[in-house]
Amino acid sequence: MNSLIVFLTVPHRTCPKTPNPECDLLAENAARALAGALHARKIQVELFLGDMPRTTVDLNRVASRTTPFRNRLRERLKIQQQRVILLDIHSFPEIETTNLDTYIIYQSQRRFFILPGLSVNAPQLYVSSLISYWKQRKIKTKAILGQFNDIIEEAVNMNVPAMLLEFSNNLSQERLDFIAQTTADWVLTQL
């Protein structure tokens, strides 16, 4: 096993049985495809599955920090001895964007001192690295600066590399598997 561990969080996986539920239909499937691809490359994975609907509490917002889900994640991050990359896994309906397979939401680290010329809103190197890795393999994607995405915000402020990955609900299983394999290959480049 490698010295790197990937934490996969899926905060919006719980779908209430209502019309147009507020949840991420493909996210758990995407996380499991990614976990499988990482295991196949001997990368350790830990999966954190959300356990309540977004309409009860949004596990990706600051108000959820005292939930068991968020407490467990934070404690694991604190005691983790290996190097961690945290990927917060979500999915989006087609209407939200135009023809993308995926997109990345990144969070700037809060800095007390800002060096002249250094933009705090620039994506971290690992974000730029994954975006170009995906684009080179014809995955339609883009990176955007996020707000209020508290899982990655908390992780980044604990100096854990973290980003939010959105997968289109319209991806076929074959396409999803390709993106999962590609993402796992990218993780290998971070060793």
Q: How far is the CB of 1 from Zn ion (least distance, A)?
A: 30
Query: Which residues 3-42 are close enough to bind Zn ion by CB under 5 A?
Result: 12, 24
Alpha-helical runs (H) found in 3-95: 27-40, 68-79
Of 43-51, 84-92, 101-109, 123-131, the window that binds Zn ion (rule: CB under 5 A) is 84-92
Min. distance of Cβ 148 from Zn ion in angstroms?
A: 12
Q: Which of 30, 87, 90, 187: binder of Zn ion (CB under 5 A)? A: 90
Region binding Zn ion by CB under 5 A among candidate stretches 89-97, 120-128, 144-152, 177-185: 89-97
d(CA 39, CA 34) in angstroms, rounded, equals: 9
Residues 92-151 close enough to bind Zn ion by CB under 5 A: none
Q: Over the range 91-100, which residues count as b (16 or more CB within 10 Å of their CB) and which as e?
A: bbeeeeeeeb
Q: Is 182 left (phi over 0), alpha (psi -120 to 50) or beta?
A: alpha
Does residue 85 sit in helix, strand or coil? strand
User: Interface with Zn ion by CB under 5 A: which residues?
Assistant: 12, 24, 90
